[in-house]
A and B are shown apart, each in its own frame.
Chain A
């Protein structure tokens, strides 16, 4: 089955700096790659996603890049702010018999230091 690895597990950056989180996946048939943000004690919420037919997507300070050949994708947050502090999860999704199976990474705890 699909295996998703996420690095780093923790990341500290100064406010205003950029943060990059990287994920790799194993199944080349994966076609959808969402990123979720989870604040302490809260539910995961989708912040950005990318389909396999797109190489890059941007939404204000957040961008995601996908390299299908290397089977890795990354989350980029620019001009970080304290409210960006949270745990971020990547995921890879594959169509399995009509059902979209999602495998999550293990998460990255991002701390933005004011």
Chain B
């Protein structure tokens, strides 16, 4: 039972390059989220998904795209990386049962864009 996993753990990109971050979960949770964490700014929601095949924009979606083709996977894509996207990215999941609000976070991906 791995919980929530993220790949890769670290990545360095040059400006303009593209990449995809993978979040995988074996918790059978419907809700999945992508956050970015920057010093002094807490966690900010990029995109989220309430189920397989659905995605929605969060607080800071510009420059990112997502896909949820399978329930257990949530992908975050950067088509043309910019230095402003240097950050630590966390994926999270949540169950859909009424009253179950806790989010479970992955270990994070540290991305540097030069």
Question: Do residues B42 and A106 form an inter-chain contact, with CB atoms below 8 A?
Answer: yes
Q: Does B2 count as interface, using CB distance less than 8 angstroms?
A: no
Name B residues whose Cβ lies closer than 8 Å to a Cβ of A. Answer: 31, 40-45, 48, 50, 56, 90, 94, 101-103, 105-108
Annotate A38-62 by CB proximity to B: 1 below 8 A, 0 otherwise: 0000111110010000000000000
Question: How far apart are the CA atoms of A100 and B108 in the complex, in Å?
Answer: 22
Interface contact tally, CB-CB below 8 A: 42
Chain A contact-residue range equals 20 to 34
Distance from A48 Cβ to chain B, minimum over Cβ atoms (Å): 11
A106 to B105, CA, bound (A): 17
Closest chain A CB from B44 CB (angstroms): 8
Which A-chain residue is minimally distant from B108 (CB atoms)? A43
Q: Binding site of A, secondary structure by majority: helix, strand, loop or mixed?
A: strand
Whether A100 and B107, one on each chain, are in contact in the complex, defined by CB atoms closer than 8 angstroms, is no
Contact B101 A44 (CB under 8 A): no
Candidates B40, B41, B45, B56; contact of A102 at CB < 8 Å: B45
A78 to B90, CA, bound (A): 30
Among all A-B residue pairs, the 9 with the closest Cβ atoms: A43-B105, A104-B42, A104-B43, A106-B42, A32-B101, A44-B105, A43-B107, A46-B102, A107-B42
Across-interface contacts of B44 in A (CB, < 8 A)? 104
- Which residues of chain A are within 8 angstroms of B106 by Cβ–Cβ distance? 43
